[in-house]
Each structure stands twice: as structure tokens, then as C-alpha cells.
Structure 1
Amino acid sequence: MEKGNEQVMKIDSDQIIHLDYRDFGRWKVEKFARYVSNLLLARRNVDLHTFYLHWDPHVPLNCNDLRLWIRYAVNHNVKVLDVELCLYDKTNLPPGIFTCRSLQELNLQWGGAPYRDYEHKGLVLPDIIKLPSLKKLTLRDVEVDELSLSSFTDRSPGLEDLHLIDSVTYLKRIASKALKRLTLDGSMYGFESLEISAPHLISFECTGCSLNDISWRDQPSLERARIDTWGPTFCDESRFTEVLVYAKELALFGSDIKVMLEKELPTCSVFQNLTTLELGRWDLTKDLYAVLRFLQLSPRLEELTLMHGPPDKGAETDGMPTDGVTFQCPLLGSVIIQCSEGDVGIDKLVNALVANGISSDKITVTSCEDINNKAHAEKIRAEEERPKKRVKENPEWEDDDPSSEQSDPDSEQSGGDSEKSDPESDESDDFDDF
């Protein structure tokens, strides 16, 4: 079941278990744990395709309960293991997950190692990693080094999707001939001279890194890229646009992106496949060259989003002249300009687009505040509707008394140091009699 599906929590089939904390209203953690245990007890002893568990970030689950449920999934040949929770009072991730031969998709977003553990900044992967069927891997707040990453790429020959989110990365190189999609979303220490060698990569997303820290070997022909950078002004000698020139969709943000484009676009090839472009987060009223030149090189562009941002004093440069830079985008049907309320000079950008044949009725100027407020209101509406749907379809699922306090996160029942036996300690238990 896809993330974001708003169906009420239930087993959609004998092979799918879908547990989302938003479907349980004000249930206490102990009540939820009993429900899951009973659910597994009642389940027929057949293989499990998907085990999905997203838990309330404010109330921790008992770690032993969590490890027991996951062990059940692993021992029933789970193919998709998707677990997200912010609090996990352990340092080491359960090793049984990483030797599951049936696992095809693994999403672990569990929060970092306990604050009292000073040896580690993130959750720790086991020494042995053997996932021969793995195709997609997502890790958050995990320590990843060259050895552990090579264990995934070498022993998971079908690994095509790799997503590292807010992890501690000790990496100099990411190399894989099978990798097709790569996401680097933040890093506790940032990346330092990271080389990417993935000749078949078609999608690349990078947030919170400096362009100076990324280089390419065996350059791929990306079809899609989203890059939101930070850091010093781009000054690398590599041809960064060479990996972007065949893309159909591009989203490029940040002042060092602007500097990179100003340096490389004058001699760049035409973006023949590009249909969707998002660009900006620098002062577009001062520096229009990168925008106009990009449009000049994008004859098949259909959708354009420009994001105006404040000047970046740390990477401020003189704007390049735009005299004589004209373009033709006959297929362009929509232009959205996002700016903050009170920004001045946006008319300069609009006039430059109109002067090149873009009809003013195709241009929409909207404020970032309005976009954020609309998104926030929609999120609140969806959250309000969700419990109504749950109660309507499952009237027997009554909420706990809202006046009663949630279980203490530090209590023996909700912490990771319960007197329960750790299921990982009994490797022979196959849960046939769970």
C-alpha cells in the first residue's frame, strides 16, 4: 500500500498489514501494542508481502514489542518493510532485518541513537548485511560508511533505489552499475568530495549539500534531477550541466546553482528533452541571465516555476548582462512565479518573459505565504476527516478517554529497557506459535 493512502487501518488482504497511528485516535501505546499482537496471533500462517508501521512521533513504542513484530514479518518472508518512528531507544538496528532474503523494499526512518550514547551520532547498521532481493532502500538517521554501503551494493545486485535521509555519512564514493535513483537528503556532517559513479542513474535528488562536494564519474544521462544546495559559491571545474542536459524534469535551487549556471550555460548544449523546469531561490530581480539563458536552451519547455529569493550575501556576485538574450518557448503553457509578500521588482521578471512572446495570461504570480497557508489548511482538513472516516467504518474502535494522560514515555512499559526478553536474542524462534 502506498504511503499517503487514507484508507482506515486494516488488513487489506492476508499478505498486507498496514498500521498508521493516525487511524487509532487517542489510543494509548499499551492498547495499540495489544492490538498488534492480537492481530498477528489471529493471522493465518502465510507469507507476508507488506508490513507498514508509521507511529506517533510523540509517544515511543516499547522497543521489544517493535523488534518482535518486525521479527514476525521477517520470518514470514516479508517483501516490503516500511517502518517510520521518531523515537527508538536503541543504538543498533535489529540485525535480523538485514539478512532477510525475501526483502525487496526497506524503509527505516527511526530517529537517531539515544542521546546518552556518545559513541554514535546515528543508528548503527549490523556487521553482516545480505539482502539479495533488495531493490529499494531508504535509511534515516543511520551511520553509513564505505563498508556498509558496499555491502548493500555488492550483495544486493538488484538495488536500484537508494535514499539516505539526514544520516551520518562517511562516504567518499557511491558506486553502482545497477543504481537508477539516488536521493541524498541532508547529512549530519555534510558530504566531502563525494564521487558518484552510477552510469545508469536516471533520477538524482540532493538537498543540503554544496555543489563543490559532488563530482561525477561515468556520467549518467539523468531524466530527472532536483538539487537544492547550500554552501560556498560554486567554483568547481567539472561540467555539472553535462549530467543534466538530457533531463525531462529539473528543479534547481540555490545561489551556488546560479553561479554554476552562469559559468556553464554560455557553452552548454541544448536541453532538447526538458519539459518541466523549476528554478531560483536567489534574487531573480537582479540576476536574470541564468533564467533567460536556460529558456533559450529549452525549446520544448511546457511548465516553468520561478522562485524568487532574497540576496545571498555569502555568495553575492555581479549579475551577468542579459542584453541580446532572447528565447522562444512555443510550447510553454504555464509560468508560476513564487515570491514573498512585499517583494519588489517582480514586474521586471514578468516584463522580460512577456517581451519574449509569453502571454501575460499564462503567468501567475503567487506568494510563498499563500502557498504555505493553503498547504497547512489542507493538511489540517485531511487530519480532521481521517478519524471521522475511521469511526464511521469501525464504530467499535472507540478512542481512549481524551482526559486521561498518555503513557509516560520514560516508563518501564514504553521504554526500551523493559524486562521482556529481547526477541533478537532467540534466533531459533520462527513465530509459528506467536
Structure 2
Amino acid sequence: MGKGDKQAVKSDSDEIIDLDYRDFWGWGAEKFARYVNNLLHDRHNVDLHTFRLHWDPDVPLNCKDLRSWISYAVKHKVKVLDVELRMYDKTNLPPGIFTCRSLQELNLQWGGAPYQDIEHKGLVPPDIIRLPSLKKLTLRDVEVSELPLSSFIDRSPGLEDLHLIESATCLKLIASKVLKRLTLDGSMYGVENLVISAPHLISFECTGCSLKDISWRDKPSLERARIHTCGSTFGGESRFTEVLVHAKELALFGSDIKVMLEKELPTCSVFENLTTLELGKWDLTKDIYAVLRFLQLSPRLEELTLMHRLPYKEAGTDVMPIGEMSFQCPFLGSVTIQRSEGDTGVDKLVDVLVAHGVSSDKIRVTSYEDIQKKAHADKIRAEQERPKKKLRMV
């Protein structure tokens, strides 16, 4: 192997190592491991900014190899550690990750465990966590309880971005004075009576939770929120719209959302900053009150996306009357209605919007199937245009 050969990096700098499985089609785990070991052996002895490893094939990587690569990155003061694996024995998690003083961004998405690891439901953070430089944390398939999460927050004073994906979450409180972005993307058991205390939070995303299980302390003024609930009832104990009213972008989906909005929008303050709104995933042809009331309360709205979906069963709430509701949205430039292919009921929805003041030439109707086809075509096109790396022979 010649010393003048190029390393598999995305830049001319010696500070980035980027290993993506799509560049190694047909390679087995052993051949790939030899490649990475040679790459690290020949690398100049300088600090490492980014170590990125995405390995998706069904054959898992050897735990010993992976531990040595991550230990190498930690030893060379890595700032961004981004590791996504399809399978990994989480009992062999390299402990040095959680005491790396240089680490600024940590992304660990380990996926499902191999069959011999079935008793281990998710990655368990160690007792000792000390990441003084950490700003962004993403964890997937993790056993998260209040103690280790508090350790992350307390021992990472600059942590501004927290993203938990499909984790076994046992949380009652998320408290931080500096957290700016929080994403809860699914949960193995769901959250229950979760209190969020993050006064400087500007972005909140939540999927797969019930609104009745989320409450706020030290309420933030969110600039952006994306919430997709799985519940069918909303207790109404707290004014949920109070944390949303200053937002510029909102995406609110699910029957739980519909019930909350119907209870709170009649007396809600004006959404003075709102420019982009996505709403729905309930039967909008029968209940469009929340849409029209949002239009009344959003004088600066520019883009509106409505997702119509016929429910498996009715939510059990009365349809809110719309009467002679009127509104002024002088900046509204586009209204997109998404619906299932063959669902002609949205014609009624279009008629209601036009009757209440939305110009018909601003309304576009599309199907979920067409959206998926376009997304698939875009993905194929992006993969075809993706530059291929010139790899050294091993």
C-alpha cells in the first residue's frame, strides 16, 4: 500500500474521517476492518475533528475493532463523533466516549442488538459522564432514566441540542437552563407525566406521545414546534398553546391535537409571528374549525399545509361550528392539501376554504402516494449523483 495513496476522507484535511457503508458495497466486515485499521495506522498524528461511521449491512462489525476505532478518535481529541450501526452488542460500549473532554457533538444510533444481546433492551450510559464541551447529543435505542440524563445535562454545561430516538424512556423531568432544542422521536414505552423545564427552549419536536403526559415548567417561548401525538384525549389541565403562541413555524398532527386546539383556540392569543403552519391528520372534511380559527389568529401566515386523513375510528368529540368565521391573511401565498389517492372528499374542504376567503388559485391538492413517489425518485437521483470515493486496495 503506497504512502501517497489518498485516504477515504471527504476533504483534503487530515481532520475528517468519513466511512459510509455505501462506499463499501460487497465488502465483508473483516475486509472493511482491515481497511479502517490501515487508514488509522497511516494517518498523520494530528487532532481529529470528525469521525463518522455509518454501517448498515446485516453483518455486524466486530466489537473489538469498533472499540479500538472509537478509542483512537477519543485519543486524538475528536470534536464530532457520529456512529450509526445496524447492530451492535451494547455491553461492549467504549467507556471513553462519555468522558471525552474535546467532544462537541455526539451521535450514537446503534439500532437493534444482535440475537445474543436480547436481554439488553438498549444502550445504557455509564455512571460516570463528563463531557464539558458537548453541545449536541443524539442517542437512539437507549435506556434513558432521569439519573443519567441529569448527568449529561449537569456535566455538559453547554448542551443545547438533545435528541432521543426510539428509546426506553423512563423520564419524569427534563430540566436545563441552556437547552435550546429538544426532540423526542418515539419511545419504547412512551412517556408518562413528563415535565419539561427549559426556559430557553426555541425548538420542540415530539412524536408518539400523548399531550396529557407532557407539561411545562418555566414555560419557553418556542420559535418552532413539531408535534405528532398518539393519544385521543386531552385533559386540558395546562394551557398548551401558551408555549406555542410566539412560534414562527408549527406542525401539529393527530386527534389529540385537534381536541386540544378546540378547547384552547377560542380564547387563545394571536399568533403574531406565525408564517408556516402544518395541521391535520384527522378528518378535516368533517371538522375544519381548528384550521379556520388558526387563520383568524395568524395575520402573518404565508404557507399552510393541511393533511386530511380518514380516521380508523372517530375521536368521540362533537364537531365545532364554523358559522360565519372570517379572517384576513394578506400574506398567505399557498395552501397545500394532502390526502390519500382516490379520496374525493377533499373537494368539500376546498369549497369551505374558498367560501371563507381563501383564493382558489392558491390551493393545491396532492396525494400521499405522489409525495412518496417523488421522495423515492429524489433519493435515487441523489444516490446516483453522490460522488464515489476512490478507495485504497487492502
TM-score normalized by the length of structure 2: 0.94
User: 1:11–1:113: structure 2 CA closer, same or farther, 3 Å change rule?
Assistant: same
Please give the residue correspondences for 1:385-404 in structure 2 after superposition, counting only pairs within 5 Å.
385-386=385-386, 389-390=387-388, 394=390
Judge conservation of contact 1:255–1:315 (CA < 8 Å) in 2: yes
Q: State the 1:241 CA deviation.
A: 0.3
Report whether the alignment pairs 1:379 with 2:379: yes
Which structure 2 segments of 5+ residues have no match? 1-7
Whole-angstrom distance in 2 between the partners of 1:112 and 1:156: 27
Deviations 1:101-129 (A, max 9, x none): 00010000012444444653211111110
| Match in the other structure for 1:99 | 99
| Match in the other structure for 1:221 | 221
Please give the residue correspondences for 1:90-169 in structure 2 after superposition, counting only pairs within 5 Å.
90-117=90-117, 119-169=119-169
| Match in the other structure for 2:210 | 210
Deviations 1:182-237 (A, max 9, x none): 00001100001000000000000000111111000000000000000102311231
| Match in the other structure for 2:283 | 283
Deviations 1:344-403 (A, max 9, x none): 3212221222223322121100000000011112222333444xx42xx63x668x9xxx
Amino acid at match of 2:129: I
SS in structure 2 at match of 1:349: helix
Whole-angstrom distance in 2 between the partners of 1:92 and 1:169: 21
SS in structure 2 at match of 1:304: strand
Judge conservation of contact 1:287–1:319 (CA < 8 Å) in 2: yes
Please give the residue correspondences for 1:411-426 in structure 2 after superposition, counting only pairs within 5 Å.
none
Judge conservation of contact 1:339–1:368 (CA < 8 Å) in 2: yes
Which structure 1 segments of 5+ residues have no match? 1-7, 401-434
| Match in the other structure for 2:254 | 254
Whole-angstrom distance in 2 between the partners of 1:330 and 1:356: 14
Judge conservation of contact 2:236–2:263 (CA < 8 Å) in 1: no
Whole-angstrom distance in 2 between the partners of 1:149 and 1:29: 33
Judge conservation of contact 2:225–2:247 (CA < 8 Å) in 1: yes
Q: State the 1:32 CA deviation.
A: 1.5
SS in structure 1 at match of 2:222: coil
Report whether the alignment pairs 1:364 with 2:364: yes
Report whether the alignment pairs 1:186 with 2:186: yes
Q: State the 1:310 CA deviation.
A: 1.1
Report whether the alignment pairs 1:34 with 2:34: yes
Whole-angstrom distance in 2 between the partners of 1:373 and 1:52: 30
User: 1:61–1:116: structure 2 CA closer, same or farther, 3 Å change rule?
Assistant: closer
Please give the residue correspondences for 1:277-356 in structure 2 after superposition, counting only pairs within 5 Å.
277-313=277-313, 315-356=315-356
Whole-angstrom distance in 2 between the partners of 1:115 and 1:206: 30
Amino acid at match of 1:101: R
| Match in the other structure for 2:81 | 81
Judge conservation of contact 2:21–2:54 (CA < 8 Å) in 1: yes
User: 1:317–1:344: structure 2 CA closer, same or farther, 3 Å change rule?
Assistant: farther
Whole-angstrom distance in 2 between the partners of 1:12 and 1:358: 53
Report whether the alignment pairs 1:266 with 2:277: no
Q: Which moved more, 1:337-346 or 1:171-180?
A: 337-346
Judge conservation of contact 2:67–2:93 (CA < 8 Å) in 1: no
Whole-angstrom distance in 2 between the partners of 1:123 and 1:129: 14
Whole-angstrom distance in 2 between the partners of 1:345 and 1:119: 48
What's the % identity of the aligned pairs?
79
Judge conservation of contact 1:91–1:122 (CA < 8 Å) in 2: no
SS in structure 1 at match of 2:293: helix
SS in structure 2 at match of 1:123: coil
Amino acid at match of 2:346: I
Whole-angstrom distance in 1 between the partners of 2:57 and 2:333: 42
| Match in the other structure for 1:424 | none
TM-score normalized by the length of structure 1: 0.86
Please give the residue correspondences for 1:231-250 in structure 2 after superposition, counting only pairs within 5 Å.
231-250=231-250
Q: State the 1:317 CA deviation.
A: 1.8
Q: State the 1:312 CA deviation.
A: 4.6
Amino acid at match of 1:296: Q
Number of matched residues? 387
Amino acid at match of 1:271: F
SS in structure 2 at match of 1:298: coil
Q: Which moved more, 1:350-359 or 1:114-123?
A: 114-123
Whole-angstrom distance in 1 between the partners of 2:333 and 2:363: 9
SS in structure 2 at match of 1:315: coil
Deviations 1:307-353 (A, max 9, x none): 00112526232210000211111100011000001213212221222
Q: State the 1:61 CA deviation.
A: 1.0
User: 1:346–1:232: structure 2 CA closer, same or farther, 3 Å change rule?
Assistant: closer
SS in structure 1 at match of 2:139: strand
User: 1:310–1:397: structure 2 CA closer, same or farther, 3 Å change rule?
Assistant: farther
Whole-angstrom distance in 1 between the partners of 2:207 and 2:117: 27
Whole-angstrom distance in 2 between the partners of 1:300 and 1:180: 24
Whole-angstrom distance in 2 between the partners of 1:28 and 1:364: 48
